[in-house]
């Protein structure tokens, strides 16, 4: 995940193979520029994951666990759970999907392009010729 270049960080001891559970990976991903939920995109790709922390999965407030870990409130916190039945191919599919999601987000959401689109849509009809 770190090699994808999307700026994700591991929450708690998730990056440590010695101090964490091998069946759980908790990652903070940067917010998508489009404002969409990363968890929703993962679901569209057929990837089962959870958001936030297990202690506050259905609560509307910030997780006390993520607050204690000093996790960024702006990040999208995703939990991946694994079992002995998961294959390396499935893990590769998740990383490839994440790469594609962030690449599509970068490609489709450009503030300059958005500004140009808005200018065309709202200001073009009001342009006056000074001939």
- Three-state DSSP state, 18: coil
Residue 118's CATH number: 3.90.1150.10
What integer pLDDT is reported at residue 115 of this predicted model? 53
Tell me the residue range of the domain where 34 lies: 2-125
Q: Is 55 a catalytic residue?
A: yes
> Which of 5-9, 13-17, 44-48, 118-122 has the highest average model confidence (pLDDT)?
44-48
Q: Where are the alpha helices (DSSP H) in the chain?
A: 38-44, 64-68, 88-108, 111-123
Q: Is the pLDDT of residue 118 over 90?
A: no
* Tally of domains within the chain: 1
Question: How do residues 33-57 score in pLDDT, each as one tens digit?
Answer: 888 889 999 999 999 998 865 544 4
Q: What are phi and psi of 68, to 5 degrees?
A: -65, -30
Residue at token pair 């990363």:
38
Counting beta carbons within 10 angstroms of the beta carbon of residue 51, is it exposed (0 to 12), middle (13 to 18) or buried (19 or more)? middle
Catalytic one among 54, 55, 68, 118? 55
What is the reported pTM? 0.67
Question: How do residues 106-116 score in pLDDT, each as one tens digit?
Answer: 887 655 555 55
In a domain, residue 130? The reply is no
Return the bridge partners of 24, or none. 81
Q: And the tokens for 22? A: 């091998």
What distance in Å separates the CA atoms of residue 70 and residue 90, rounded to the nearest whole number?
30
């Amino acid at each position: 995940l770190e090699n994808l270049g999307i700026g994700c960080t591991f929450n708690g001891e998730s990056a440590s193979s010695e101090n964490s559970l091998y069946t759980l990976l908790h990652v903070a991903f940067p917010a998508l520029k489009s404002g969409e939920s990363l968890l929703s995109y993962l679901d569209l790709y057929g990837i089962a994951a959870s958001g936030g922390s297990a202690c506050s999965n259905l609560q509307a407030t910030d997780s006390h666990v993520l607050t204690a870990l000093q996790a960024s409130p702006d990040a999208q916190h995703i939990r991946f759970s694994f079992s002995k039945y998961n294959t390396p191919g499935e893990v590769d599919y998740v990383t490839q999907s994440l790469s594609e999601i962030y690449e599509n987000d970068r490609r489709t959401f450009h503030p300059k392009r958005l500004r140009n689109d808005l200018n065309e849509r709202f200001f073009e009809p009001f342009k006056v010729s000074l001939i």
